[in-house]
Structures are given as structure tokens and as C-alpha cells.
Amino acid sequence: MCNKWLVSIVYLFFGLLLANVSLAHEGRPVYIEIQESAEGAYKLRWKIPPVMESGTEPFITLEGNNCKQSSGRLRPALTGTKQFRCDVLEAEGQESKSQEDSIDVVLYYPKSNPALSTLIQLERVNGDQLSLFNGPEELRILLPKQLGGWEVAKQYIVAGVQHILEGYDHLLFVLCLMQIAGSLRRILITITGFTLAHSVTLGMATLGIWRVRVDVVEVLIALSIVMLAVEMVKASKNQQRDSLVWRYPATVAGIFGLLHGFGFASALGELGLPQAMKIPALAFFNIGVELGQAIFVVAVLFVLKLLMGIFWRKKSEAVIQSASQASAQASAISLPTSVLYLVGVVSAYWFVERVMGLVL
């Protein structure tokens, strides 16, 4: 009875996962590019992820300092361009200057924001560039003169956490690593190997040292989950865990982590990096990814421990002792075989879907 309840709960989790299967790696924000061509003159371009249905796209505009649209698209759409003219104020005894700090980017959603963040790339007439990343709750965004260190750290840490927690394929891979690693000590070592590896390729790809096709990387990421699922199912059947994956999980995690790093880099590429703080922003994004990953690992361990405490609380000490001795070499995180099959189905679906995206 207890096992049935546990299986039902795990199936519910993966059911929610399947409900969002098309969003396995959908972390793209609403992208807005603003270029200052002269004092008080702005060109605004935008690109909205195609997950939005027709008629739900936001209306994007500039407000403040008497900004008026001079040309461009008038109605909401997935992509478009607008031109704005904003007042330039003159102060007595001072040089004229554009009041950019009083200009806001405003998004008007006809219904509601479907949890899309916003990335603004601002290029000034003197060549300075700023990247502004804001969560879905921010619909009025001030254009500052410059970003301080704390603002950059906050934005990119939040972006990293959000990306990993919305990247269901990465989370499923981490769950597989936890199942294979087994004990808490081996989990920590394995996750560390995964972290070090994807940090290397994240940095190399983001800085342009090593470029790869993102669509191919996405296919290989899905394939990596399929391979781990096959290993877990085979082990659950014959109880043999003598393959390379089971003996050296940290090494395997490191090899596959190189692929996942390129996947993280694609998200950061869409987010962009501030020109004057590329390395710090990259580091903060990576910290956010690791923080989100740690949150997921702790949450999984907590939930499993809680379920064990609820469903097995009434077992006698003898039964518990017997079970612990029988499973001394077994995985500390042990998912039912049916759930392992479900992991394989979900990852295989992603694999086929992404391969079709390559050939079509």
C-alpha cells in the first residue's frame, strides 16, 4: 500500500513534467533592443518567444520624458520595430542632456504575462551598452544610466536560478545522477563533477572560445538522459551495477556535464552580457545555476525523506534493520522501476522531438 502511494506521487510529478514537455528548455525571455541613434531618438526592436498565442502578445512602448512614437508597428506582434522621439531638457548653465533616467520601457499584456521574463539590451549613442534582466512581475522597467555591481550580480544570479529550475531536462538529468550515485557522499562528489564540467563549457561558449550548434547540443542532452535511464532500468532488473556509469558516476557526470554547459550557454547567449562586466556577469549566472541545482537536490532529498517518514513510520525496528542490511549496497535514492521507464519515455520524447527539429 505504501509503495502504491509513493509510486502515485512520483507519477504525479512526472505527469506535471509531461504536461510541460514542450517547455523542456524554454527559458527565453521577451527580448527588447533599444538603440539610441541621437539625443532623444530611440529605435526599439522586440522579439517575443513563439510560445505566446496570437492576440496575447504584449504592447511594448517607451514612456516618460514626453516620448512619442514617430514610426513603426502600431499593434502587438511577435516581432517588430518602433521609432521614438523623447524630449531633451536643457538646464541653465549646463550642457543639454537626454533624460534617459526618466524613460521607462512598459509592457502591456492584453490578458496576463505567462511567466515570461524580460531582457533589455540598451545601446547608447556613445557606444556604451547595458543589459537589463527582469522577472515576469516587472512590467515597467526604468532605463538607468549605468548598472552597478550589485545590480549585475542580482540580475544574473536570479537568471541562473530561473534557468535551471525551468530546464526540466537538466533537472531530470540531475535526478538520474542522484539515483546512480546513491549515498549522500557519492551524490555530492557526482554533482561536483557535473558542476565543474558544465562551468568550463559554459564559460568557453559564452566568451566565444568554443562554438557549437545549440540544436545539436539539445539533441545530445536528451540522449544523455536516455542513456542514464537505460542503465537504471538494466540495474533494476539484474541488480548488477558494475558498468562504468555505476562505478564512476562523477566521471560520467563530468563528461555529460560538458554538453549541458553548452546548453546553459545558449540561454546566457540570449540573455546577453554587459560589455563592461562580462566575466563577473558570467560568474554570477553560473553561481545562480549552481544555487538552483543545489535547491533541487536538497528538495528531492527532503521530499524522499519525508515520504519515507510518513509511509514507513509504523514499521518495526527489525524490519527496518533487515531492509537496511539488504540494501546496504543499494542506492539511497531508489525510484520504482515503472518510474525509471517513465524517465526513459520522457527523455526519448525529447530526443525524437529535437532530432525532428534538426531534419525538418
C-alpha 70/C-alpha 115 separation (Å) is 31
In a domain, 160, yes or no: no
Q: Is the pLDDT of residue 173 over 50?
A: yes
- Do residue 181 and residue 69 come from a single domain? no
- Do residue 70 and residue 187 come from a single domain? no
- Do residue 244 and residue 290 come from a single domain? yes
As for how many domains the chain has, the answer is 2
Under the banding of pLDDT at 50, 70 and 90, the label for residue 18 is very low
Separation in Å, CA 305 to CA 1, 188, 302, 310, 320: 18, 17, 5, 9, 14
The burial of 329, by beta-carbon neighbours within 10 Å (0-12 exposed, 13-18 middle, 19 or more buried), is given as exposed
- Do residue 186 and residue 257 come from a single domain? yes
In a domain, 156, yes or no: no
- Do residue 311 and residue 206 come from a single domain? yes
Which residues touch 171 (CB under 8 Å, ≥6 apart)? 164, 165, 296
Average pLDDT over residues 180-191: 86
Q: What is the pLDDT of residue 182?
A: 78
Residue at a domain's end among 151, 175, 196 = 151
Which residues touch 245 (CB under 8 Å, ≥6 apart)? 180, 228, 231, 252
In a domain, 51, yes or no: yes
C-alpha 94/C-alpha 67 separation (Å) is 22
- Do residue 268 and residue 189 come from a single domain? yes
How many CB atoms lie under 10 A from the CB of residue 51? Answer: 13
Would you call 127 helix, strand, or coil by DSSP? coil
DSSP category for residue 39: T
pLDDT in tens, 34-67: 998 887 899 999 998 877 777 888 999 999 888 9
Separation in Å, CA 24 to CA 21, 172, 173, 187: 5, 10, 12, 24
Strand-pairing partners, residue 35, are 43, 123
Residue at a domain's end among 127, 151, 175 = 151
C-alpha 253/C-alpha 349 separation (Å) is 22
Residue at a domain's end among 151, 186, 210 = 151
User: Percentage of the chain with pLDDT > 90?
Assistant: 15
- Do residue 173 and residue 314 come from a single domain? yes
Average pLDDT over residues 141-169: 81
Q: What is the pLDDT of residue 216?
A: 87
DSSP readout, 137-195?
Answer: T--EEE--S---HHHHHHHHHHHHHHHHHH-HHHHHHHHHHHHHH-SHHHHHHHHHHHH
In a domain, 85, yes or no: yes
C-alpha 212/C-alpha 197 separation (Å) is 16
Please tell me whether the overall predicted TM-score, pTM, comes out greater than 0.85 for this model.
Answer: no
Q: What is the pLDDT of residue 329?
A: 42
In a domain, 157, yes or no: no
- Do residue 347 and residue 243 come from a single domain? yes
- Do residue 120 and residue 200 come from a single domain? no
- Do residue 144 and residue 281 come from a single domain? no
CA dihedral 284, 289, 290, 296 (to 10 degrees): 150
- Do residue 63 and residue 190 come from a single domain? no
How many CB atoms lie under 10 A from the CB of residue 257? Answer: 27
In a domain, 186, yes or no: yes
Range of the domain at 76: 33-151
pLDDT in tens, 309-343: 665 554 444 444 444 444 444 445 667 788 888 88
pLDDT in tens, 197-231: 999 988 888 888 888 888 888 899 999 999 999 88
- Do residue 293 and residue 324 come from a single domain? yes
The burial of 321, by beta-carbon neighbours within 10 Å (0-12 exposed, 13-18 middle, 19 or more buried), is given as exposed
> Pick from 224, 245, 237: which is nearest to 336 by CA?
237
In a domain, 47, yes or no: yes
In a domain, 175, yes or no: yes
